[in-house]
Amino acid sequence: MTQNSTTPGQMMEMFTYSIACNKGISEVASKMAGACEQFKFALLHTYNYHEILEGKGFPIERKVFIYEICQAKMASKILTTNPEFSIFMPCKIVIYEHEGSSVVSTMNMEMMLKIFEENKEMYNETMQLFGTLKELMTSLTI
């Protein structure tokens, strides 16, 4: 039996794309709607997860915001060719407090988008979408 040498922290780093900043979480979160508009994403849902958990009797110390966003044209293309990809949709961006910083994070889609490599056009478009998503995230932190 072989032992996996990847630690849980390393695995989390592989599966996420995150940017930390020293801005307050309220300031970062307040930019989300404008950033979605600027980068042509529809903001579908916003969850103030810390409030949801508190309302259910499980308060947490940090603020956590979860945003579901979408670019309908690309979603249509993906779901037409690869409906199994729907489990990864819509795109999620989270903003949370961690050790005095605000962190903006999403799933690292690069590994998952490899399923489109045989269709060069789709692969290029989805990688471009992920690049745009990263630009949106960066805009929240500056």
pLDDT tens-place string over residues 90-132? 999 999 999 999 999 999 999 889 989 999 999 999 999 999 9
CATH class of 19-141: alpha beta
Q: What is the pLDDT of residues 64-79, one digit of tens each?
A: 999 999 999 999 999 9
pLDDT surpassing 90 at residue 9:
no
Question: How far is the CA of 140 from the CAs of 56, 67, 120, 128, in angstroms?
Answer: 29, 13, 31, 19
Give the span between the Cα atoms of 130 and 110, in whole angstroms: 8
State yes or no: pLDDT of 44 exceeds 80. Answer: yes
pLDDT band at 3 (very low <50, low <70, confident <90, very high): low
Q: What is the mean pLDDT of the chain?
A: 94
Beta bridge partners of 47: 66
Which one-letter amino acid corresponds to residue 89? M
pLDDT bin (cut points 50, 70, 90) of residue 5 is confident
Tell me the pTM: 0.91
What is the three-class DSSP state of 65?
A: strand
